[in-house]
Amino acid sequence: MSNIAIALVTTGLLGLISALSPTRQICNIPDHQHNGWVLLLTMIFMFIIGYLGYIWMLIDRDIGSLELIVATIFCGGGAFVFVISRMSKETIFKLQQTVHEKHYQAHHDPLTNLANRHQFYDELDKLIDDEHHIFSCLMMDLNDFKMVNDTLGHAEGDHVLQVVAERIRRSLPKGGIAARLGGDEFTVVLPDTKIAEAVEVAKIIQQALSEDIQCENHALVVGISVGIAEYPKHGPDKKSIMKHADVAMYKAKATDRGYRVYSRDID
């Protein structure tokens, strides 16, 4: 009887010890009922001490039905805490992953995985909220992209957009943020970057897009027109900066110059 009781309590003790790891992982999740889970972790440590004390009490002692019943309860309690802690950890982590995926989907373009329009606006707002911040905004539009869709189909057009997005992403300096606003329109924001540096980035992007893109049995070269505006030099807010970069882009497209910096005389 004594060995059976000790085995039951030991099983429960192992359950408590196994519950420590998942409970500690939950405690490390920021802002997730932190105090409650820390309290539970503390209680598990206290239970472990109690279980050890009960095992010590059972050694070299005549065991009756009452001690055996208590040992069974201890076994079930330890197993219960283990199961609850494991299930809670799995549920919480899955919920966090779902929330992260939903957040990512809400802020990124599903085709290119670049930031979407809403995320780009948020990034501009953050930069503008910093009164001492300067940045450059590049508005970009592919040249004759409609011809790609009409000739090769939308599936190949999507492939071209994905390749273009990846080349733009690779061309950016550290801290640069690329976004797809829709269709074949892309934009880039370059924090702490003035016009001269932004022009160099525009040239790098155009050089990257001068390489062939393989579509079906064709090798395409997709041109891009870039308009550049600097904050706060070319506008005091998000709307004016994007508008002026857009004006410069259309001027670059109309003159086949590849890129154009905004100035009052082209507006």
Question: Looking at the structure, do residues 30 and 85 belong to the same domain, yes or no?
Answer: yes
Please give the single-letter amino acid code of residue 110: P
Residue 234 lies in a domain: yes
Residue 250 lies in a domain: yes
Alpha carbon separation from 173 to 138, 178, 186, 194, 233 (Å, rounded): 13, 11, 16, 13, 21
Residue 184 appears among annotated catalytic residues: yes
For the stretch 85-89, contacts whose Cβ atoms lie closer than 8 Å and that sit 24 or more positions apart, written own/partner, are 85/19, 85/22, 85/23, 85/26, 85/40, 86/19, 86/22, 88/22, 88/26, 89/22, 89/23, 89/25, 89/26
Question: Looking at the structure, do residues 131 and 222 belong to the same domain, yes or no?
Answer: yes
**Exactly one of 109, 141, 184, 246 is catalytic; which is it?**
184
Look up the domain containing 42 and give its range. Answer: 2-107
Residue 206 lies in a domain: yes
For the segment 2-14, the average pLDDT, to the nearest whole number, is 88
Task: For Cα atoms 164, 166, 169, give the angle at the middle one, nearest 5 degrees.
Answer: 110
- pLDDT tens, 182-203? 889 999 999 999 999 999 999 9
227 contacts 195 by C-beta, under 8 angstroms: no
Per-residue buried b or exposed e for 118-143, using 16+ beta carbons within 10 Å of the residue's own CB: ebbbebbeebbeeeeeebbbbbbbbb
- Give me the number of domains the chain comprises: 2
Residue 42 lies in a domain: yes
Q: Which of 87, 107, 127 is the last residue of a domain?
A: 107
* Interatomic CA distance for residues 114 and 179, integer angstroms: 5
For the segment 61-68, the average pLDDT, to the nearest whole number, is 80
Q: Which of 68, 86, 107 is the last residue of a domain?
A: 107
For the segment 11-28, the average pLDDT, to the nearest whole number, is 90
CATH of the domain at 216: 3.30.70.270
- pLDDT tens, 92-134? 889 888 888 888 888 999 999 999 999 999 999 999 888 778 9
pLDDT at residue 96, as a whole number? 86
Question: Residue 70 above 80 pLDDT?
Answer: yes
Residue 112 lies in a domain: no
Question: Residue 245 above 90 pLDDT?
Answer: yes
Specify which residues 190 forms β-bridges with: 136
For the segment 165-172, the average pLDDT, to the nearest whole number, is 95
Q: Are strands 224-231 and 259-261 parallel, antiparallel or unpaired?
A: parallel
Question: Residue 31 above 70 pLDDT?
Answer: no
Question: Looking at the structure, do residues 89 and 179 belong to the same domain, yes or no?
Answer: no
Question: Residue 236 above 80 pLDDT?
Answer: yes
Q: Which of 107, 134, 153 is the last residue of a domain?
A: 107
